Structure 1
């Protein structure tokens, strides 16, 4: 039987060779860990749909953030559950709001940890939408003023980076100008540039208590069918001053992650969202998958698609596996197909 001169299996034959020629690398430096800070004391409430993830009061946030940092996770991104909500999301930009106080505590107790903040209104409004409601929909331009105030309050509290997730037109420019005009030119903006109206957000809405009380978010989040629109959205944010662009969700939109990598010479982030996390956890619990293997394979898929940064609820698990020298290659030794 004739074989070609090149045989692909030659290089696959030994683990040392497979490791030497591996095209995609994963590091703890790639990881950002989302955390949910809740008003009060002594709170550590597990999210029923997200095993291992908690709503936590500030002292417990600090403790877990320290644990993540010691594992090598360099950054967290904060989401807030305030004591009270109102129509204009007042706690989002209050000097002593839940996120502002959490930032101060983290920068005091874990000073080398990078603290990133989600900038949006949905967690703080009593209607659950991402801005000011007028005539049954979010008013884009009035919302920009509040988002800029929110980002500024986070910077004033000590945040290292702000990440607007609201999908209002023009919000990156509004935030950039407000930060620059108030002495925070050094604070980078990681824009949720491409955020789809997705069914994968369900568990997050439980975690952040941010389910819309009427309607949905399709008037401002993107249609899952659209790819070219993603390029236009990201281009706007780049022109307005974004330092990092993000795609959310992750797994269903790997093609869009690759499009961002090909189109823009900026760092690209991807959000491995709650629904993606919960599906792996559920299947792992049932014994249907090797949870560690699938988790690491998922992380590699983001990196292979072109992401530089991964926001993931798996961050501590991934860091632990990396420290143990876990290789995706171990699948060949576990009897798996």
Structure 2
């Protein structure tokens, strides 16, 4: 393997074990050589045959793993990794500012890292780069300050499609429930929605409320917004996530209003629970599993020697019309109007 890769035997050993500092290209050459010859560790007596830990494992790093969105991310990444012959390790980003997830990942010699909803610090990326471990961002919360590839969806276009659908279905007053913290994707959804309102129904009564990405806070925000919204006529409500839309259902019911008789509601994400609300929730579907799979395939390309830059892979949203905007059966509307 050393001869084939053009490096020393010690470099091969360090690359296979994920130890030491080396250029990504050097590590990739060693791993390709190991895969070509079918190398296994001598004395390995249990478990699946190994070609070096770093050629078997991808890490998925998220701040938590107990929500409908992260369930979809994990499922999509796990399926894609298995199809490519990789195992997926779930790594939690801890709230501690001195979180050592880069060191934990480096010590097991992972082949690559997906950071979900996270933008790494310069210090964290320095650890990854010194170890030659490629990193791909999945729906980063802000634009990264360094050159990194990312996978995301068309948040602004989705917001526009939500506004157009509410207007087409008769809404004449509007509530938009934005989110705090104001992450990149949340801002894009709200900006797209308000941009479409201004273009199509300029001067229409509207109220913007913010919630902390939770159903409970969205319920309170919706109640306040309904009390503040001027004028008369059907109301169109857009929430930045399905969970916040679910909270808005409670606020609407407590105000003595009905969905969709008085208020038309649209969420964002299309997680599993959206279809089980009553009425079922119209939402902007982002292809969460497909996005996670795209991140895995990007990492696999890097392991095979492809150069990673700052490419943005953007998968399109779709509007899924259901009962909360009067659709009798689910209908897919693929794009916002230009």
TM-score of the aligned structures, taking structure 2 as reference length = 0.27
Larger Rg: 2
TM-score of the aligned structures, taking structure 1 as reference length = 0.27
